[in-house]
Amino acid sequence: MSARIVHIASNTFREAVRDRVLYNLIAFAVLLSGAAILVGQISIEIERLVVVNLGLTAVSLFGIVIAIFIGIGLVSKEIDKRTLYTVLSRPVRRWEFIVGKFFGLAGTLVVNTFFMAIGVFAALFYVAHKFSASDATILVALYFIVLEFLIICSLALLFSSFSSPLLSAVFAFCLFVIGSFANDLRGFAMLAHGFTRWIATAAAYLVPNFSAFNIISAVAHQQPVSAQLILQNTLYAVFYTAMVLSGAVLVFEHRNLK
């Protein structure tokens, strides 16, 4: 990887840390500790299920919100504040800037998820007093959540490369919601006929299939996760992210910075 990409990524990470983005961890810790104590008192036999469900859902939602809200400003804020001028007047290619920004935000989210994961396991230990072998699947669920973040980051970055922060946030959030129901959309496409079927199928395969990444409920119920799903989701996320990032680069390469 180009050294310049690493420098841009580490500066993006530093910005997130200094802008106190990781302060959300405090809110997360308070929420999860409170929930664990409450669940410990009112649930019988299903403490693990509730804590895993609640914990992983919170990890996912906190991360998605951060990914969208940082991602939408990654390029547009640099253009508005003109900080980009002194970067692009150096031997930095525009694609390096986009890719560096992506890795910076992805790194922020991975670190964020790591700390939240510690919180989830701590809450789990508090209610169950031990760990079991099946708890390892929580790590898989967390991995899928990180893959979701990569896709969301790339989408936010794509929208940020040509649109205002507000519209970018709306687009990214809508795609997240639609993508979470991608399986239903595919089901609808199968039922439709003619032109509608064609349009619905295209839309169903074009939007990110977030429903495939959501194994929170299965993990909470201690169901196993197949290696095939892990491989499939990994390849899908990498391919989808690469495609969206290429789109962002393509847009940004031709953009006049007024």
Partner 1 sequence: MSAIEILDLEKTYMVGFWRKRPKRALQPLQLTVEEGEIFGFLGPNGAGKTTTLKILMGLVFPTAGTARILGRNWTDPEVKAQIGFLPEQPYFYDYLTAHELLDYYGQLSGIPAKDRKRRIDEVLSKVGLADVKGLQLRKFSKGMLQRVGIGQAILHDPKLVFFDEPMSGLDPLGRREVRDLMEQLKQAGKTVFFSTHILSDAEALCDRVAIIHKGELRGVGAVETLTSSVQGKVEVVWQGTQIPSSMKTLGAECHATGDTVRAVIQEGQQDAAIDLLRREHIRLIAITPLRTSLETYFVEKLQHSQTTAGKSA
Positions in the binding site for partner 1 (CB under 8 A): 3-4, 7-8, 11, 14-15, 18-19, 81-93, 254, 256-258
Left, alpha or beta for 65 (phi > 0: left; psi -120 to 50: alpha)?
alpha
Backbone φ and ψ for 43, nearest 5 degrees, come out as: -100, 145
What is the rounded distance in angstroms from the CA atom of residue 161 to the CA atom of residue 170?
A: 14
CB closer to partner 1, 4 vs 186: 4
Where do we find the tokens 């840390």? 17
What is the rounded distance in angstroms from the CA atom of residue 5 to the CA atom of residue 240?
A: 20
Among candidate residues 81, 110, 105, the one with its CA nearest the CA of residue 15: 105
CB closer to partner 1, 5 vs 172: 5
Query: Which H helix or E strand runs over 162?
Result: none
As measured in angstroms, the least distance from the Cβ of 141 to partner 1 is 33
Taking a C-beta distance cutoff of 8 angstroms, is the pair 70, 16 a contact?
Answer: yes
Question: Which residue type occupies 222?
Answer: Q
CB closer to partner 1, 18 vs 130: 18
CB closer to partner 1, 237 vs 248: 248
How far is residue 20 CA from its own chain's centroid? 19
Among candidate residues 174, 27, 32, 16, the one with its CA nearest the CA of residue 110: 16
CB closer to partner 1, 15 vs 47: 15
